[in-house]
């Protein structure tokens, strides 16, 4: 079961499988994400700017330059919250090659960014 809502500047989706009523903590998290959506999108963008410089991501020089531009190279953020309370803020649009075709995500633990989610090899299912 998926439930979609629009937060402060972006979409928030709850993914509950098997279908059922989300736990109160998940509903509270969804409300926090929706209310503070713009803040989390900015935080995730800054997190990506920092983390994507690491050698494991192997960005080319032209892409590293994009990370230094005044405008972040990520757009159309959306949040996905799963039944266990884990969640990801995914930027659907990005000029970085690794974000093609499904965007790039930042996994959060509560309200803290924890990891980059490379979606370049994701299954479109």
Model's pTM, two decimal places?
Answer: 0.83
Q: How confident is the model at residue 1 (pLDDT cuts 50, 70, 90)?
A: very low
Assess contact for 49 and 115: CB atoms under 8 A. no
Sorted by sequence, the CB contacts under 8 Å of residue 110 that are 6+ apart come out as 29
- Provide the pLDDT confidence category of residue 61 given band limits of 50, 70 and 90: very high
Residue 122 pLDDT > 70:
no
- Segment 14-59, tens digit of pLDDT: 777 777 888 898 889 989 999 999 999 999 999 999 999 999 999 9
Peptide bond into 101 cis (omega under 30): yes
Taking Cα atoms as reference points, which of 36, 27, 39 lies closest to residue 3?
A: 27
Supply 7's token pair: 């937060």
DSSP state string for the chain: -EEEEE-SSSEEEEE-SSS-PPPHHHHHHHHHHHHTHHHHHHHHHHHHHHHTTSGGG---HHHHHHHHSSS-SEEEEEEEEETTS-EEEEEEEESSGGGTTT-EEEEEETTEEEEEEE-TT----
């Amino acid at each position: 079961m998926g439930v979609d809502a629009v937060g402060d500047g972006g979409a928030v989706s709850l993914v509950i499988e098997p279908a059922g009523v989300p736990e109160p903590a998940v509903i509270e998290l969804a409300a926090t994400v929706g209310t503070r959506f713009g803040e989390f999108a900015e935080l995730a963008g800054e997190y990506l700017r920092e983390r994507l410089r690491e050698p494991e991501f192997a960005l080319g020089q032209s892409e590293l330059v994009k990370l230094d531009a005044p405008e972040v190279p990520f757009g159309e953020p959306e949040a996905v919250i799963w039944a266990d309370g884990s969640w990801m803020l995914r930027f659907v649009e990005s000029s970085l090659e690794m974000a093609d075709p499904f965007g790039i995500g930042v996994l959060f633990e509560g309200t803290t960014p924890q990891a980059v989610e490379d979606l370049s090899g994701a299954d479109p299912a």
